[in-house]
Amino acid sequence: MAMKTSSATFKERVDEGIHNDFMRMAVSSAQERLHGRRLTAVDELGNWEDWRSLGQEIRQHVLANLDFYLHQLAANVSKRGGHVFFAETAEEASGYIKDVIVDKKAKKIVKSKSMVTEEINLNASLEAIGLDVVETDLGEYILQVDDHDPPSHIVAPALHKNKEQIRDVFIEKLAYTQTEKPEELTAHVRGILRKDFLSADVGITGCNFAIAETGSIGLVTNEGNADLVTALPKTQITVMGMERLVPTFDEFEVLVSLLTRSAVGQRLTSYITALTGPRDEGDVDGPEEFHLVIVDNGRSSILGTEFQSVLQCIRCAACINVCPVYRQVGGHSYGSIYPGPIGAVLSPLLGGYDDFKELPYASTLCAACTDACPVKIPLHDLLRKHREVIVEKEKMAPFSEKMAMKAFGIGAASPMLYKFGSKMVPSAMSPFKTGDSISKGPGPLKNWTESREFPAPGKESFRDWFKHREKGGNPS
């Protein structure tokens, strides 16, 4: 499974994340910084909710007319001399890209940051046939050098590392001899990548939004590496999820404004680039050959279902930056290249419940993610719907949970049993009490009480209290 980033169990991943004090501190700091900058950026507009509604309307319109816009996009890319390939699966996408590269007798590939290429496990596929694949986004490059460490955040992939850790990796892997200053680390990487850009045979990018009306590919970046990936190699390949398109540049402008403010708290990022096909006669740079790979990989099976709204996502990570669960466990705990609330919804849909059935439960359902989403995806509702599917349709609830719910159903349906049970609970819980709280617990209480206390049930039930009150006793 290409999306899966770890063979450890969910509980093992969570345990590792919770006990990684540096990671939790780094995530907490980054969440506060990014979310704070986002609030400032959206407040400048003054009518943010109107912008969100417009963004939602655009994305819903595209999904409702996806076949039309995909056909229009493909026709316009072809008209400009580009090649379009529709890949139903990750394997088909990687296979087509490998065929193009082999046909060109290419050896070195430079890539800009792309979540969909992570999703289809493209790097591993290309490296398996002996190709030199170089990530040119600084965060992705750091992870690649560090033994292909998977990303932990959609926008800031190396969020879980500090500058001292990065310095040590560079000393070991890149013959680095300077300090942990970010400027010195970046300058060292820049010197290495400059040679890679100039010697690369093929450039591969993702796609923030494709513009159907013109057959253009829109890229939103802050480092400028994507522009070099598309300008210098003779062959360019762009990989996009099939839902990542807009009708015209007017909608592109709206969604880019929502994306940059929500992702990094900027009015605009440093580079907003629109590329249209291979270079024309007289152009000074750009690829001689352009390929657009449009990836389905399970997306079409989401269309028309109760989960369709998840395809509105513009990959800004605003939901991740407000999630209290992500803050405590980090991105690697999700075991998917898509972490956080959006990952908890999307991963089971694209990767299946067998690998990702725990993720919908990695949420408090506080709805902070829904409030932060710039295109109004009801993420907390979708997480709840996943839980319903897991229990009612997939029948994947643990046996102990099934028995506990069945027993509760029997007890709650009988007034006599319910009354008897409520009287027995204080006595049953007394071995686990410390003062007025339960500080250790059996079964489902164990994980909760390992990190927090649970209020102990009172000796007097609500029914007894109410009966006493009705008789004129003290209501306090």
Nearest to 241 by CA among 303, 153, 288: 303
What is the reported pTM?
0.90
Residue 475 has a pLDDT of 53
Burial 261-279 (b: 16+ CB within 10 A, else e): bbbbbeeebeebbebbbbb
Q: Same structural domain for residues 421 and 275? A: no
Over the stretch 291-337, which tens digit does the pLDDT of each residue have?
A: 999 999 999 999 999 999 999 999 999 999 999 999 999 999 999 99
The alpha carbon dihedral of 17, 19, 23, 28 has a sign of positive
Q: Same structural domain for residues 153 and 285? A: yes
Domain membership of residue 387 (yes or no) is no
Domain membership of residue 358 (yes or no) is no
Residue 101 has a pLDDT of 98
Domain membership of residue 306 (yes or no) is no
Over the stretch 415-442, which tens digit does the pLDDT of each residue have?
A: 888 888 888 888 888 888 888 888 777 7
Domain membership of residue 461 (yes or no) is yes
Burial 300-326 (b: 16+ CB within 10 A, else e): eebeeeebbbbbbbbbbbbbbbbbebb
Domain carrying residue 223: 10-301
Residue 476 has a pLDDT of 53
Of the residues 301, 332, 366, which one is the last residue of a structural domain? 301
Residue 474 has a pLDDT of 59
Residue 61 has a pLDDT of 98
Asked whether the beta carbons of 203 and 235 are under 8 A apart, the reply is yes
Domain membership of residue 441 (yes or no) is yes
Domain membership of residue 183 (yes or no) is yes
Residue 54 has a pLDDT of 98
Tokens of 308: 């369709």
Residue 455 has a pLDDT of 85
Task: Say if residue 207 carries a ligand binding annotation.
Answer: no
Of the residues 301, 325, 347, which one is the last residue of a structural domain? 301
Q: What is the mean pLDDT of each run of 10 residues along the chain (476 residues)?
A: 86 93 90 91 92 98 98 98 97 98 97 96 96 97 94 92 93 96 96 96 98 98 95 97 98 97 94 94 90 98 98 97 95 96 98 96 96 98 97 85 84 87 83 81 73 79 81 62
In angstroms, rounded to a whole number, what is the distance separating the alpha carbons of residues 243 and 221? 20
Domain membership of residue 398 (yes or no) is no
In angstroms, rounded to a whole number, what is the distance separating the alpha carbons of residues 239 and 225? 16
CA 156 vs CA 152, 175, 232, 370: distances in Å? 8, 25, 25, 21
* Count of structural domains, the chain: 2
Q: Same structural domain for residues 293 and 420? A: no
Task: Say if residue 373 carries a ligand binding annotation.
Answer: yes
454 forms beta bridges with 438
Domain membership of residue 435 (yes or no) is yes
Of the residues 301, 323, 357, which one is the last residue of a structural domain? 301
Task: Say if residue 313 carries a ligand binding annotation.
Answer: yes
Residue 176 has a pLDDT of 96
Nearest to 57 by CA among 210, 250, 273, 219: 250
CATH code, domain with 129 = 3.40.50.10420
Q: Same structural domain for residues 289 and 424? A: no
235 forms beta bridges with 202, 289
Which of the 8 DSSP states describes residue 336? B
